[in-house]
A and B are shown apart, each in its own frame.
Chain A
């Protein structure tokens, strides 16, 4: 086997071992913390609580509520976001004026708008959906904007040299070119939607995964609370992996392309 491949294989194995030890370390740390801090449960209790929640079905309702909020917010965010992104991408004037504003959206803790949303949409699910959409709309707008902007000028010249109509140019050059960045924006947006729903539920809600976390905290059932948090992270990872897989399939042609 060539020198590089051998080194890489050995390196991989080393990394895996290291990861294992780090995981062990984290586990021990976790256990140590539970000894020092009275309210903090040891890891096995968290895991068993997680198991209980799933098998007992206690979590199902709440999971569905949060997913509903997330997906609805997501739908709104992509419709709004892509539309605005296209608008800004097409008009240089609008982009010059509004792009800095959109960019600074990342620096502002958007959760503070939640009370506003609650006054407008009420205390129920709609305010959570609105919050999710608000969080997600920014990456979608920016990625769409960048997607249009970064369409290779040479490609447009090719289309022009062949007398392509505007519709043809959009459908056959702009659109395929924009799929990877727009989809990436959607992937990030979905994550933000999830976050937005959870935070809104944590603030004030009657149902949902965020509500469950607050609920268990208030009851002092910390093991269950941590279990829900753990499950949320696992869920995020699964959704992300799924989106990434779709994204890779759509961008199959990218490979080592340098434009």
Chain B
């Protein structure tokens, strides 16, 4: 299996990030990792540790201060056509209907109207929102709107999905169900997914591998393969092995999360 995403010695320092910090912020330390085609990899770490920044760098939305990101061998200099991003908070446009939102990406690429509509319908159905095409986001629930965001990304038929805590704003039950939905979509479409989260449960539920990150400046503390069978159900997720994995991750994160509770984070 080839390496689809290659992150090499990437670091990120924000200069002069504002009056409060008065100086530069080292968001990401030296980070190295690879993602193979078809994998589901999670970046897991405490809040504010810089994992979103790292994802932005992979997405081409932020330039790294040092190092580089390669996607299918090409250096990333801006948003790469093989990638599509799903964001943390409500990112669907309230003035567009569900279908029009899904169309947004392919509309930008210039796909002509009929083909666009057709494609958008297909993807909307794929994420389980068939029948809601003409509703506005204000008429849909949070989970449904996030599914729209995923559909919008999928409409571009990217090889890689970059997801930044997409279920963060949802309650725990919805989160779990959305996770199952995502896994179903992943299995159907066989995309490569790089997923950022601060929830251990979520990371274990979804991923093939979890990259556990430290507090700021973020580096990868440990890489943990999730050797649980798929499909991941409540049963498989509550076995002894799963609990062990969870305990191990928590042991690493405990130290890192505690750093976030002191004023200077060190």
Contact = CB atoms under 8 A, between A and B. Distances in A.
In the complex, A touching B (Cβ < 8 A): yes
Interface of A: 154-155, 157-164, 168, 172-173, 176-177, 179, 252-259
A255 B95 CA distance: 11
Interface string B77-104: 0110100110111110111100000001
Contacts of A254: 94, 138
15 contacts: A154-B88, A154-B89, A157-B91, A158-B104, A160-B79, A161-B59, A161-B61, A161-B85, A162-B79, A162-B108, A252-B136, A255-B136, A255-B138, A257-B137, A258-B90
B90 A154 contact: yes
Contact of B61 (A155, A160, A255, A259): A160
A172 to B, nearest CB: 7
A157 B96 CA distance: 17
B139 A255 contact: yes
B105 interface: yes
Contacts of B85: 158, 161
A176 B136 CA distance: 14
B105 A162 contact: yes
> What's the interface size class on B, roughly?
20 to 34
Nearest to B137: A257
Interface in B34-84: 59-61, 78-79, 81, 84
A154 B168 CA distance: 15
Contacts, number: 64
A256 B137 CA distance: 10
B156 interface: yes
Chain A contact residues: helix, strand, loop or mixed: helix
Interface of B: 59-61, 78-79, 81, 84-85, 87-91, 93-96, 104-105, 107-109, 136-139, 156
A257 B138 contact: yes
B261 to A, nearest CB: 28
A173 B105 CA distance: 12
B100 to A, nearest CB: 10
A172 B104 contact: yes
A255 B136 CA distance: 9
Contacts of A164: 108
B136 A155 contact: no
Contact of B93 (A155, A160, A161, A179): A155
A153 to B, nearest CB: 10
B96 to A, nearest CB: 8
Q: 10 smallest A-B Cβ distances: which pairs? A: A255-B138, A257-B138, A176-B95, A161-B85, A257-B94, A253-B95, A253-B136, A154-B91, A253-B94, A162-B105
Contacts of A173: 93
Contact of B78 (A163, A176, A177): A163
B93 A157 contact: no
Contacts of B139: 255
Contacts of A255: 136, 138-139
Contacts of B104: 158, 162, 172
Contact of A157 (B78, B87, B108, B136): B87
Contacts of A257: 94, 137-138
Contacts of B138: 253-257
A160 B87 CA distance: 12
A168 B137 CA distance: 21
Which interface residue of B90, B95, B104, B109 has the most chain A CB atoms within 10 A? Answer: B95
